Amino acid sequence: MSKDIVQIFDTTLRDGEQVPGCKLDMEQKLVIAERLDELGVNIIEAGFPISSPGDFKSVESIAKLVKNATVCGLTRAVKKDIEVAAEALKYAKKPRIHTGIGTSDSHIKHKFNSNRDAIIERAIEAVSYAKTFVEDVEFYAEDAGRTDNEFLARVCEAVVKAGATVLNIPDTTGYCLPEEYGAKMKYLKENVKGIDKAILSCHCHNDLGLATANSIAGVINGARQIECTINGIGERAGNTSLEEVVMIMRQHPSLNLDTTINSQLLFDTSKMVSNKMGMVVQPNKAIVGANAFAHSSGIHQDGVIKNRETYEIIDPADVGVTESSIVLTARSGRAALAYRAKLVGYELTKIQLDKVYEEFLKFADRKKEILDEDIHDIVEASKVNLQS
């Protein structure tokens, strides 16, 4: 049975770029947009055109540049925003306007001083107006994570009727539990009239570290688009990480879901975005962190040297990492030392290895990590006769 394709909507250049201190200039945005297109993302959210003349220019230039992906611009449910977004997107081969409004009681009361019926009216007006410019209109129900399902379904039904092609259900505050977010998608799938005309989209924030789990719960329950960023960057604790959701679907065939992403470009793309934004990737970050394929305890190293699959569920080559690394520390065993010594040119017999290992432990207790150059000093200090 062929797998269902989940659309990957990358918002590195919009939600991701909202990270404090990580502003990108236009040149950098164009390079990233081109790479995202090459990576195989389906939709690139290029920016929020009304927010500044610079953002307008970037969205316009990205729209001209991108060959394959749909290019999307964000708006509020405000006519002027929609007009400006349509203007910025006019050169896109496949343009999408992403418009919406807050739907939780908290947003309706504190942001809009309004009521539910008036919010539905504004949502319909925004989608209908956007439809006069482009065919592809995505609607976001901001703070859908804290919006009650019945009202959310009413909003969704109204905007689908007005022509929305995608329904974005953001967990704006990163509040939901995976079961809750998944149940929300299921509820909408089962209760919104006309839902077959639109794609449900997951847009999750990571305030409780659940953005990836929530997005996966969303697609298991019928969503077919995930909004995410490279390295999971984004405001506060960030957005769903693109590399994580892509690899979860790829490593779990039983989900019967896949994406069009060329996963071998993931590591390099992560480095590129990290460098351009000046935003370090945490070493233990799943898939693309420096330690994602590094093994340091003796038991694990011994297993990986015998067979990679003992402690690795992903072939590093599949995400563009040349090979796993065996890190030498005081917790490493003889197998790891022999392996690394061989890589730098020492083929040690069992007796030689025992001697070198003794010396190695003395070094390793003083130093956090033993590097290739240290191995030469250790072999030297252990005085083994390498000719014997």
Q: Which residues are near ligand KIV by CB under 6 A?
A: 15, 140, 142, 168, 170, 172, 203, 205
**Nearer to Zn ion among residue 15 and residue 17 (C-beta):** 15
Q: Which helix (H) or strand (E) holds 249?
A: helix 242-251
**Nearer to Zn ion among residue 216 and residue 348 (C-beta):** 216
Q: Cα(202)–Cα(212) distance, rounded to whole angstroms? A: 10
Q: At closest approach, how far in Å is the CB of 51 from Zn ion? A: 14
Residue number, nearest CB to Zn ion: 15
Q: At closest approach, how far in Å is the CB of 98 from ligand KIV? A: 7
Q: Cα(185)–Cα(196) distance, rounded to whole angstroms? A: 13
DSSP code at position 93: S
User: Which residues neighbour 92 within 8 Å (Cβ) at sequence distance 6 or greater?
Assistant: 63, 64, 66, 70, 71
The token pair at 75 is 């708006």
Q: At closest approach, how far in Å is the CB of 364 from ligand KIV? A: 46
Question: Residue 140 binds what, of ligand KIV, Zn ion, none (CB under 5 to 8 Å, by partner type)?
Answer: ligand KIV
Applying the rule CB under 5 A, the residues between 2 and 41 that interact with Zn ion are: 15
**Nearer to Zn ion among residue 8 and residue 314 (C-beta):** 8
Q: Cα(28)–Cα(24) distance, rounded to whole angstroms? A: 6
List the x/- string, 189-208, binding to Zn ion by CB under 5 A.
Answer: --------------------
Exposure pattern of 297-327 as b/e (b: 16+ CB <10 Å)? ebebbbbbbeebeebbebebeebbbeebbbb
Q: At closest approach, how far in Å is the CB of 74 from ligand KIV? A: 6
Neighbours of 259 (CB within 10 A): 21
Phi, psi of 73 (to 5 degrees): -125, 140
Q: At closest approach, how far in Å is the CB of 279 from ligand KIV? A: 18
Residue number, nearest CB to ligand KIV: 170
**Nearer to Zn ion among residue 221 and residue 239 (C-beta):** 239
**Residue 275, SS3 per DSSP:** helix
Q: At closest approach, how far in Å is the CB of 221 from Zn ion? A: 20
**Nearer to Zn ion among residue 202 and residue 261 (C-beta):** 202
**Nearer to ligand KIV among residue 162 and residue 204 (C-beta):** 204
The token pair at 109 is 């009361």
Question: Residue 142 binds what, of ligand KIV, Zn ion, none (CB under 5 to 8 Å, by partner type)?
Answer: ligand KIV
The residues that touch Zn ion, with contacts defined as CB under 5 A, are: 15
